Amino acid sequence: MADPHAPTPIRREDHGAVARLVLSSPQNYNALSREMIAALRDALATIAADEAVRVVVIAAEGKAFSAGHDLRQMQAARGEADGGRGAYESLFADCAALMQAIPALPQPVIAEVQGIATAAGCQLVASCDMAVAAEGTRFGVNGVNIGLFCSTPMVAVTRAIPAKAAFELLTTGAFIDAARAAELGLVNRVVPAERLTAETMALAGTVAAKLPAAIRMGKRAFQAQRGLSLADAYTHAGEVMCENMMLPDTDEGLTAFLEKRPPAWADQPISASAGKVSSSQ
């Protein structure tokens, strides 16, 4: 049974329409323990129903974004009657549910990454819609180095970067730096470490400044079309475009553009600067 007095492994900070979820377990390099996974899932479930939140940032305290699963916790499970099999099945199922909740979330999710993101930590980055990394950050799916192939992180990573690059990382256990991660498409941009939070929040603020209904609709369509054939993807996208066109705020946006004036939306976006903070990670 969980200790009700134990400190929460994440911290939520709201900055206007941007919600920051900060992994707050630096003593174990923000490992994705059972408690961390549960806390993240609960926080995302709450945010999903909150229309005031337009963008989510997942950040972390300390020297690492996340070093992956809690290996001490995993090894301790071997002492159970079934040798840990039930605990492992539950852990990986819960982690898979978390990683699927991120692309399913109505709001875009941006990873703010520093230090290292390894194994399930790299999986978390790959599962986010976008990522900003500090210079000097390293990424890897290096479980193979200890005899554990990163099969579950592989699912997200192979959907974020080219297959051959992913397979090399999975089989060699090598790290890549932030620049290479950007080349492969694992992160969107690399910034000076002292500017990491400010740059991430600037990106979040830019997205939050768009029409919320269009962003929610667009993210849902973006995820849906990825699993479809080319023809079915265009059919689905066309239906979404029609649905988007029928919104009163879209009518106003197009009319305002043609009349060369700012739109007067009912679902009013915030200014791009509203998500910015001056602190660094």
Handedness of CA 121, 195, 44, 228 (dihedral sign): negative
Provide the mean pLDDT of the chain.
93
Residues 199 and 220 both lie in one domain? no
Residues 200 and 226 both lie in one domain? no
* pLDDT in the model for residue 279: 43
Instruction: Provide the CATH number for the domain around residue 243.
Output: 1.10.12.10
Q: Which residue has the tokens 């492992």?
A: 88
State how many domains the chain has: 2
Sheet strands (E) in 126-219: 130-134, 138-140, 176-177, 189-191
Residues 200 and 223 both lie in one domain? no
Which residues in the chain show pLDDT less than 70?
Answer: 1-6, 269-281
* pLDDT in the model for residue 269: 64
The closest alpha carbon to 53, from 45, 62, 65, belongs to 45
Instruction: Provide the CATH number for the domain around residue 145.
Output: 3.90.226.10
* φ/ψ (deg, to 5) at 166: -65, -45
Residues 188 and 248 both lie in one domain? no
Sheet strands (E) in the chain: 10-15, 18-23, 55-60, 109-113, 116-118, 130-134, 138-140, 176-177, 189-191
* pLDDT in the model for residue 267: 76
Could you give the CA distance from residue 66 to residue 55 in angstroms, rounded to a whole number?
21
DSSP 32: B
> In the chain, what are the helix, strand and coil shares in percent, each to the nearest 5?
50, 15, 35
Residues 203 and 218 both lie in one domain? no
Look at residue 4 and tell me if it is in a domain.
Answer: no
Residues 225 and 86 both lie in one domain? no
**Domain limits at 102?**
10-208
Residues 129 and 256 both lie in one domain? no
SS3 string, 234-270, reads HHHHHHHHHHHHCCHHHHHHHHHHHCCCCCCCCCCCC
* pLDDT in the model for residue 111: 98
Residues 123 and 220 both lie in one domain? no
Q: Are 22 and 36 in contact (CB under 8 A)?
A: no
